[in-house]
Amino acid sequence: MTMRTELSTTNEKLAAVDRLREKHLVTPRDTQFRSYLDRLLQRDGQGNLIPAPRLYTKDGDARGIAVVEPAGGGKTSLVHHGLKTHPALQPRDAAHQPWVGVRVPSPATAKSLAIEILRASGYPTASRSNAVTEDDIMRKVRHHFKLRGTAILWIDEAHDLFGAGSRYKVDVFLKTVRNLMQGDGAVCVVLSGIESLWQIASCDAQVTRRYWRLPLADVSPHSDRKALTNVIAGFCDAVGMEPPSDEDLVDRLVHASRNRFGRCIENILAALETAALENADKLTINHFAESWGMHEGCVIGRNVFLTRRWAKIDLTENQLYGTVGQ
């Protein structure tokens, strides 16, 4: 008996979709990130990676990675999965924390970032008093990292550090993070964000010297057709449905997702949820049209999954909500 015949009710299918949302889909992007991550870490006498930064200068300077991709690509999930599952970054016990991850807080200031890092490292309390500076907090961070055996700090949405700041503020942010990568107790830093992260940060020669840029490629309906077809088929099987049979579905999906991998997965899951709510036995292009149209709020003539001239639809915000004949 196949899973498709076992999942016969709407609730069962919706629960299966939720389970899919919780899973990380492993792709060649994971291998690419892992290869960069491995180069940040030291190896022991037998060549095994260990949870300690690899130091590149006699003064003990570590290196970092800047993972750059437009919004909706799935970089946050990629980095989180890579750190969480790396064999060398598994904690030995409750007191050991090989990596720490934070998202840039709002408002984004050097002090608020320092407090967020300290909190994520497991430090009991962090004072927000004006009498306590970001330098004071970062000294505590460095000390706590040494106690916890932390080798890597990951800062997600790192472009928010530079988005609305003056050149002076950008320099302060870069110095705050750079200091953690130097000297006794240095850690490696992973930054993830949209293109502006590298466009702004790379104006500093210290950044281009210390960070390896990892740009994540767009999804292509040609080179990625087989992989996306297999994802759709696998997801459909898990939810108890037959996959769609439309020949141009992958092409429409990639265009509707702005060539972003993460958005492709989100749109597949959204279509499956729509089909599950109908207790459908087969996923169709109409389910994609309904879920995508609801998310985008566009008129029917601008729905990539409905119109014949879908490839000519401009998906920039100013163009999407106009009208076009079918």
pLDDT value of position 127? 62
Cα distances (Å, whole numbers) of residue 18 to 45, 230, 239, 272, 303: 44, 19, 10, 10, 25
Alpha helices in the chain (DSSP H): 3-6, 10-21, 28-38, 75-85, 110-120, 134-148, 167-180, 195-201, 205-210, 225-239, 249-256, 261-277, 285-296, 317-320
pLDDT value of position 283? 97
pLDDT value of position 178? 87
pLDDT value of position 166? 65
- The whole-number mean pLDDT for each consecutive block of 10 residues of the chain, a chain of 326 residues, reads 58 96 93 97 96 88 93 94 97 96 88 90 73 82 93 93 69 84 92 84 76 91 94 96 94 96 97 96 97 90 93 74 45
pLDDT value of position 205? 75
pLDDT value of position 130? 62
Cα 85 from Cα 91, distance rounded (Å): 11
Which residues does 145 contact at the CB level (< 8 Å), separation at least 6? 100, 121, 153, 180, 185, 187
Q: For the stretch 186-223, what's the b/e string if a residue is b when 16 or more beta carbons lie within 10 angstroms of its beta carbon? A: bbbbbbbbbeebbebbeebeebeebbebbebeebebee
pLDDT value of position 164? 57
pLDDT value of position 129? 67
What's CA 60's distance to the chain center, in Å?
29
